[in-house]
Amino acid sequence: MAKKHYYDVIVIGGGISGTALLYTLAKYTDIKNIALFEKYNELATLNSNAKGNSQTLHCGDIETNYTLEKAIKTNRTATMVENYGKLYGYDDKYMFKIPKMAIGVGDEEVKFIKARYKEFKKDFPYMKLWSRKDLETIEPALLEGRDKDVDVVAMGTNERYSAVDFGEIAKSFARNAKKENDEIDVHFNKEVDSIKKKGDKYIVTVGSEKYFADYVVVNAGAHSLLLAHQMGHGLDYSCLPIGGSFYYSKINKLKTKVYTIQNPKLPFAAIHGDPDLVHDNTIRFGPTAIALPKLERYHHAHFMDFLESLSPTPAVIEVFYKLMGDKDIRDYAVKNFLYEVPGVRRKLFAKEVQKIVPSLTKDDIVFAEGVGGLRPQVIDKKNKELLLGEAKIDTGDGIVFNMTPSPGATSCLGNAYEDAELICKYLGAKLKTKKFNRELVS
Ligand SMILES: Cc1cc2nc3c(=O)[nH]c(=O)nc-3n(C[C@H](O)[C@H](O)[C@H](O)COP(=O)(O)OP(=O)(O)OC[C@H]3O[C@@H](n4cnc5c(N)ncnc54)[C@H](O)[C@@H]3O)c2cc1C
């Protein structure tokens, strides 16, 4: 077997999940013979690109739909990304200490933020409670044009790295992995069509070419579940792709990352406003959330692939029925659909923007064309529920599939470590846990 067609480990997908795994395997294991397959001619062109996501390192402290338990877990993986960035001097290059906060407006929301602050104080000691007076200095745009009688409060910090260009971090993972192990192959323009198991090897087919591996990890975004279903794995899961768009404003009012309060029934972080990392003097508001019948936001739709990964069985229909039976979710879905409709969208979305910066009007914002991504939300058919966050299918047989909606970019190194553990156990390879913990966890 020609060497370039055989690998110990093949990683499918060159977003932040695949590249974080490549880096983790290269630096923290003794596995040498590794390849990554990416279908496009560059890494991180889809959801991991800075234009595809909210650029937020989710620590759970300002994401009000996270419970304390979930926030502690997410914060651990966020710290890994921070530590990685510090290790390579990426502070102020790919990750930034932009102050961040969750705001509450009006009596009910103010009460909510104060209670949350109290609950989170012990585990997130750097968080501060900012009064209306404090906000006049920290972020005056939140108050300009706001009714003086309405109470406003925020919990926030300026001590953490809050904004990350995950696309650049993904590229750096691949670069640094190559520095650790120059035998690694990164294959571009290689779309994996199918994976099959033969004996103790996996056969990965790309067009007319075949590659062989002892272990395969599929980090292919919304395509992961499709590839799993094609192999008969993950049949208890469905993928519901949720698109997210953004609006830009050139009226550069915000210096901070400002999250609003999210409905806990929804598996997304709430609409926020923040300075864009890749366009100077531009503020972004979003993301919206709209179910879309495709697996990639801006490439032509493979409707049959969508249908196959959704696999609309009675259990899936029951989940939709249950979701749509909830008035809050129904209203949210209709509103978010309208945020995409030219002609009405700017006027309607301006109301969301004004919750953050009251003085901005519809004429101050534009729909950001070609910006945004797609969150592969997972439906658990057995328990008939829409899952919050990521899901992993570990077959225990040398292949893993990862589905990575938000906060998948933040959890990239946490997920990569979990996969490295599975791989090393399966292959009998060495995992340098102490080194990983020393460099990235503490
Ligand atoms: C609107 C929005 C906002 C978000 N905001 C945040 C945020 O602020 N913070 C956060 O942590 N997370 C956020 N997320 C989630 C985050 O963007 C994703 O979890 C993360 O980018 C997933 O990375 P990934 O590598 O798993 O997938 P992707 O980035 O989608 O990469 C998958 C890769 O696999 C490749 N691929 C697919 N099929 C194949 C195939 N058959 N063969 C070869 N290659 C293939 C694709 O080309 C792609 O490069 C957001 C997501 C969206 C949509």
Q: Walk across the sheet containing 373-380 and list its strands.
A: 290-291, 237-244, 373-380, 385-386
Average pLDDT over residues 221-250: 94
Query: What pLDDT is attached to residue 161?
Result: 97
- Ligand 1 proximity of 410 Cβ (cutoff 6 Å): yes
Q: How confident is the model at residue 301 (pLDDT cuts 50, 70, 90)?
A: low
Residue 150 pLDDT > 50, yes or no? Answer: yes
What is the rounded average pLDDT for all residues in the chain? 94
- Residue of 96, 211, 406, 413 to test ligand 1 pocket, by largest number of atoms within 8 Å of CB: 406
Q: How confident is the model at residue 323 (pLDDT cuts 50, 70, 90)?
A: confident
Helix-strand-coil percent breakdown of the chain, rounded to 5?
35, 25, 40
Query: What pLDDT is attached to residue 2?
Result: 45
Query: What pLDDT is attached to residue 123?
Result: 97
- Ligand 1 proximity of 60 Cβ (cutoff 6 Å): no
Query: What pLDDT is attached to residue 266?
Result: 78
Q: How confident is the model at residue 146 (pLDDT cuts 50, 70, 90)?
A: very high
Please tell me which residue, 180 or 322, carries the higher pLDDT value: 180
Rounded to a whole number, what is the distance in angstroms from the first to the last CA of the chain?
43
Q: Tell me which residue of 1, 4, 34, 3 sits closest to 416, measured CA to CA.
A: 34
DSSP string, 374-436: EEEEEEETTTTEE-SS-EEEE-SSSEEEEE--TTTTTTHHHHHHHHHHHHHHHHT--B-HHHH
Dig out the tokens for 428 from the structure: 């009998």
Backbone angles phi, psi at 298, to 5 degrees: -115, 15
Q: How far away, in angstroms, is 91 Cα from ligand 1 center? A: 22
SS3 letters across 71-106: HHHHHHHHHHHHHHHHHCCCECCCEECCCEEEEEEC
Dig out the tokens for 57 from the structure: 């390192």
Give 121-130 pLDDT, tens digit per residue.
999 999 999 9
Query: What pLDDT is attached to residue 385?
Result: 87
Average pLDDT over residues 254-260: 96
Q: Tell me which residue of 144, 104, 106, 150 sits closest to 359, measured CA to CA.
A: 144
Q: How far away, in angstroms, is 243 Cα from ligand 1 center? A: 12
**C-alpha–C-alpha distance, residues 380 and 119, integer Å:** 30
Q: Cβ distance 294 to 302 under 8 Å?
A: yes
Query: What pLDDT is attached to residue 268?
Result: 73
**C-alpha–C-alpha distance, residues 272 and 410, integer Å:** 17
Q: How far away, in angstroms, is 213 Cα from ligand 1 center? A: 24
Name residue 285's amino acid: F
Q: Cβ distance 268 to 241 under 8 Å?
A: no
DSSP-H helix ranges across 255-312:
303-310
Dig out the tokens for 218 from the structure: 């599929």
Q: How confident is the model at residue 1 (pLDDT cuts 50, 70, 90)?
A: very low
Query: What pLDDT is attached to residue 3?
Result: 52
Neighbours of 362 (CB within 10 A): 16
Collapsed DSSP state (helix, strand, coil) of residue 61: coil
Residue 217 pLDDT > 90, yes or no? Answer: yes
Q: How far away, in angstroms, is 53 Cα from ligand 1 center? A: 8
Record the pTM. Answer: 0.96
**C-alpha–C-alpha distance, residues 248 and 370, integer Å:** 12
Query: What pLDDT is attached to residue 304?
Result: 84
Q: Tell me which residue of 86, 78, 81 sits closest to 62, measured CA to CA.
A: 78
Query: What pLDDT is attached to residue 94?
Result: 98
Give 45-99 pLDDT, tens digit per residue.
999 999 999 999 999 999 998 999 999 999 999 999 999 999 999 999 999 999 9
Collapsed DSSP state (helix, strand, coil) of residue 284: strand
Q: How confident is the model at residue 263 (pLDDT cuts 50, 70, 90)?
A: confident
Query: What pLDDT is attached to residue 324?
Result: 86
Upper half-sphere CA count for residue 166 (Cβ side, 13 Å): 32
Query: What pLDDT is attached to residue 349?
Result: 97
- Ligand 1 proximity of 414 Cβ (cutoff 6 Å): no
Closest ligand 1 atom to 296 CA: 30
- Ligand 1 proximity of 99 Cβ (cutoff 6 Å): no
- Ligand 1 proximity of 221 Cβ (cutoff 6 Å): yes
85: left (phi over 0), alpha (psi -120 to 50) or beta: alpha
Q: How far away, in angstroms, is 281 Cα from ligand 1 center? A: 26
